[in-house]
A and B are shown apart, each in its own frame.
Chain A
Amino acid sequence: MKVEWDGKQYEFAKPMVVHRLLEELSLSKEAHLVVANNKLVTEDHKLEATDDVRVIRVISGG
């Protein structure tokens, strides 16, 4: 599974649920959203090995 996060690309060989992916990347569930194959998905969604995944930070400062 290809994962884009913070301008970098990550590869994960095995399927996993979204909250596990966020744990792997040490990211907060409250501050990030996950888009799989252009669709927003919940924390319990199972990501397949072939999915295109984007992690989006929702916090902005200023």
Chain B
Amino acid sequence: MKCRVCGKPASISLKSYNTALCAKDFTSFFEKRVLSTINKYSLIDDNDAPIVAVSGGKDSLALWHIINKLGFPADGVYVDLGIEGYSDISLSKIKIMADMLKRKVFIFPMRNVIEKGIDDLSRTLRRAPCSTCGMIKRYAMNRICIEKNYSVLMTGHNLDDEASALFGNILYWKDEYLWKKGVLLEGRAGRLSKKVKPLFLCSEREAAAYAIINGIDYVYEECPFSVDAKSLLYKSILNRLEELSPATKIGFIKGYLRAAKKHKSAEGENEDREGGDCKVCGYPTYGEKCSICRIMEKFEVKNKFYFEEYDPCCLDSHKKIVT
């Protein structure tokens, strides 16, 4: 297979685009795709200070790499869930990238603050680890944005993540979640950060290829708690469909975005992100107290909520670099 742009041997075939590209042209293709998503959906404004939610996996590290390369200086935030033999490795990969980008990373040390790792906490709460993890991450990542004045939280959710979640919502007809997906979720001043997903239209295979080609050192191992996750099953079903009929996933998600736009204009924007503020910490919640404050109260944890900081440089993260 030859690269469609330069004619050299291709490194990756992209059947959904009916093309094949060499390493150099694929890198350029992928970065342009991310940039066009940012521009099309107005994910970053001129005055925005973005921060990337990093996990040590290919998607978030590739995103952090690209965003900085595209001229949007962005620090990182990592939620250390205290998973033995996994969280430490993830953090070491993140620090390698932080050193390379010369960007700061904030770390939420869950075990030190809540006095439990994700395994203990989910067991005690009788909640699935993935659901507990999501709750902690949403809270910590929003809080870092508000406390440190980052106006946009970027996550590495890719096309396959979105397609599998949508597939699950349709399969079990979860009407309450069905229309809540989007490339951009608006925030609420001083309380809830804007959330964006620049890899929304990039497949997981493309993100992995970008990471490999660009020498990004990421955690290959799967999170030990997600081994039986339904999302993995949905992803393999969707990939089977993709193999038989290329461009199924992108068609599914683009169709959803069109339908969601119509739904939102009929129902009103951001109905899903309304709600009150927690009477203890002041951050958004649907009840009187947020889940995290209820956990701290339940386990009589008196620790203050804090972030550790890994700063390999002296660059001011709120200033743009002219490239």
Contact = CB atoms under 8 A, between A and B. Distances in A.
B194 interface: no
B239 A28 contact: yes
Interface string B41-82: 000000000000000011100000000000000000000000
Nearest to A62: B226
B231 interface: yes
Contact of A42 (B13, B57, B229): B13
B236 interface: yes
A57 B229 CA distance: 16
A20 to B, nearest CB: 15
Interface string B261-305: 000000000000000000000000000000000000000000000
A14 interface: no
Nearest to A59: B235
Interface string A49-62: 00000001111111
A14 B23 CA distance: 27
Contacts of B59: 60
A31 B235 contact: yes
A57 B204 CA distance: 10
A59 B235 CA distance: 8
Contacts of B9: 45
A25 interface: no
Contacts of A40: 11-12, 23, 209, 212-213
B175 interface: no
A51 to B, nearest CB: 14
Interface string B193-237: 000000000001101110011000000101101110101100110
Given A59-B204, A61-B231, A61-B232, A30 B222 contact: no
B107 interface: no
A3 to B, nearest CB: 15
Given A39-B11, A42-B1, A58 B242 contact: no
B3 to A, nearest CB: 10
B199 to A, nearest CB: 13
A57 B232 CA distance: 12
A28 B236 contact: yes
A29 B243 contact: yes
Nearest to A29: B243
A61 B235 contact: yes
B229 A62 contact: yes
Given A28-B243, A41-B11, A33 B212 contact: yes
A60 B231 CA distance: 9
Most chain A CB within 10 A, of B133, B227, B231, is at: B231
Contact of A59 (B209, B223, B232): B232
A60 to B, nearest CB: 6
Nearest to B242: A30
Give 4 nearest A-B pairs by CB, closest first: A61-B226, A61-B229, A58-B208, A61-B232
Given A31-B235, A33-B208, 5 more contacts: A30-B239, A30-B243, A33-B209, A33-B212, A62-B231
Interface of A: 28-31, 33, 35, 39-45, 56-62
21 contacts: A28-B236, A29-B243, A30-B205, A30-B242, A31-B205, A35-B212, A39-B23, A40-B23, A40-B213, A41-B11, A42-B13, A44-B13, A56-B212, A58-B204, A59-B204, A60-B222, A61-B226, A61-B227, A62-B130, A62-B229, A62-B231
